[in-house]
Structure 1
């Protein structure tokens, strides 16, 4: 029992380290866009302030008319705004990379590869995150991204996972079976190099394990239940009140379960955001 408690603690600690690594990998274009918006508002505010300053304190050539600010003042506000954006973005980038290296060092000291999160299996991933990732894989067309998910997580198009309704839920025997299947696929494909998840890749694709808090659990749950409901509606009709006549008897209970869980999860998230 003591060994079991110790193992659970180690997994939780490991997930916390992975969470720190993942949280330092924000999307570069998105963050640059945020700083650009900030720069635009700063430029607008500075330009307005300069125009007001010249109209209040500037010398009027013709009485009653406004005073035109010189072009040099306009270029000065533009340069100031650009400098603030570049400085802020550069500061964020340096801090983000520094945090990433720090958490990578923590994971490396613990015997883990910070660039290959599934090298030692799927234990750092919660059931909810794995199902959300598997749903993303389900929507992908053949190509590099789908191949990345196969090599990284052991997903296969013909594995035991299915949508509409879901074949497994978090914390169930079916989910444990899926984990074993995916980890077996990883072991069997070890002759291929496990792809690296770099700072840049994580910022774009969000592949690293996350420490599950309540909000994240709800977000992951909504991702895979909503996709299952969409699949059910495409197969059996968009009028859920007629599913009793269109859904096969063996799948009806699971279909209603997915629909109700998606509805409750969406409502809970909306209440939290509100």
Structure 2
């Protein structure tokens, strides 16, 4: 039965399972901030309601003068806001961890390691996501995240990828060759040490798991690496693109203009989509 399930776990189903796993990993500090804002809002609303209640129904010692609520009412309002904020965050955290655990089981039933998404290669990643990740890697300084991406995806500073202009585009022969290069790096490195784990906490901070390759996601990933390429072009050849014909080396001008126009086109498409900025 396990073999049957593994064999029928295709790329589309695999990406859906990875999407569910990644979606359960929301940055915890950002979510804590949101719940604390909610708790503070409850505190302000409750305090306002208490003040109004005492001024409408409370006994006035002096005619025409307001009624001050007792300090206990203020502390109670504060406690309610704090409990709702922290309690809501605790409930969300438990649900997030439970969802992560559930999707991890789904992936394991499909013969995959939920903490090592590239253990069987890079097929779960779309071209656009890989290029976006590689573009992010290009702009990282030396550190733990850069090392993690090297060991997880096979990225290398001397591989065939480059920005300013982009050396490779999705769904091309060059992209297929780059995938082979990265997977070869992973195979060569696999004997030296175990591939690092991408835990719930790591994914919450760095967004490294495969995502479903729908149209919107492809556009967002493409915007990321094309904008990175345009920024690199501007740093190298000047911030006025109308002067690039004088500064960009021969043979790179067409690709430079292509990246600039593509970034503008994708941004325009996303601006027309509701809920996308």
- Structure 1 stretches of 4+ with a deviation exceeding 2 A read none
Matched position secondary structure for 2:88: helix
Distance 1:92 1:114 in 2: 21
Matched position secondary structure for 2:115: coil
Deviation track 1:213-261 (CA, whole Å, cap 9, x = no partner) reads 2221111111000000011111111111111121112111110100000
Deviation track 1:39-65 (CA, whole Å, cap 9, x = no partner) reads 111111111101000000011111101
Cα contact 2:24–2:96 (8 A) shared by 1 = yes
Equivalences for 1:127-206 in 2 at 5 Å?
A: 127-191=127-191, 192-206=193-207
CA deviation after TM superposition for structure 1 residue 268, in Å: 1.5
| 1:78 alignment counterpart | 78
Distance 2:132 2:267 in 1: 15
Distance 1:145 1:21 in 2: 20
Q: Which stretch shows the higher mean deviation, 223-232 or 262-271? A: 262-271
* Structure 2 residue ranges without an equivalent (≥5): 1-6
| 2:95 alignment counterpart | 95
Cα contact 2:9–2:110 (8 A) shared by 1 = no
Is 1:29 the counterpart of 2:21? The answer is: no
Is 1:232 the counterpart of 2:233? The answer is: yes
CA deviation after TM superposition for structure 1 residue 8, in Å: 11
Matched position secondary structure for 1:132: helix
> What RMSD over aligned residues (CA atoms) do the two structures have, in Å?
1.3
Matched position secondary structure for 1:159: coil
| 1:221 alignment counterpart | 222
| 1:3 alignment counterpart | none
Deviation track 1:170-191 (CA, whole Å, cap 9, x = no partner) reads 1111111110000000000002
Distance 1:221 1:8 in 2: 30
Distance 1:24 1:57 in 2: 47
CA deviation after TM superposition for structure 1 residue 119, in Å: 0.4
Deviation track 1:87-119 (CA, whole Å, cap 9, x = no partner) reads 211111111111111100000001000000000
CA deviation after TM superposition for structure 1 residue 9, in Å: 7.6
Equivalences for 1:6-85 in 2 at 5 Å?
A: 10-85=10-85
- Structure-2-length-normalised TM-score: 0.94
- Structure-1-length-normalised TM-score: 0.95
Distance 1:47 1:267 in 2: 45
Deviation track 1:124-149 (CA, whole Å, cap 9, x = no partner) reads 00001000100110111112111111
Distance 2:55 2:220 in 1: 52
Cα contact 2:116–2:198 (8 A) shared by 1 = yes
Distance 1:271 1:142 in 2: 38
Distance 1:149 1:201 in 2: 12
| 2:272 alignment counterpart | 271
Number of aligned residue pairs: 268
* Structure 1 residue ranges without an equivalent (≥5): 1-6
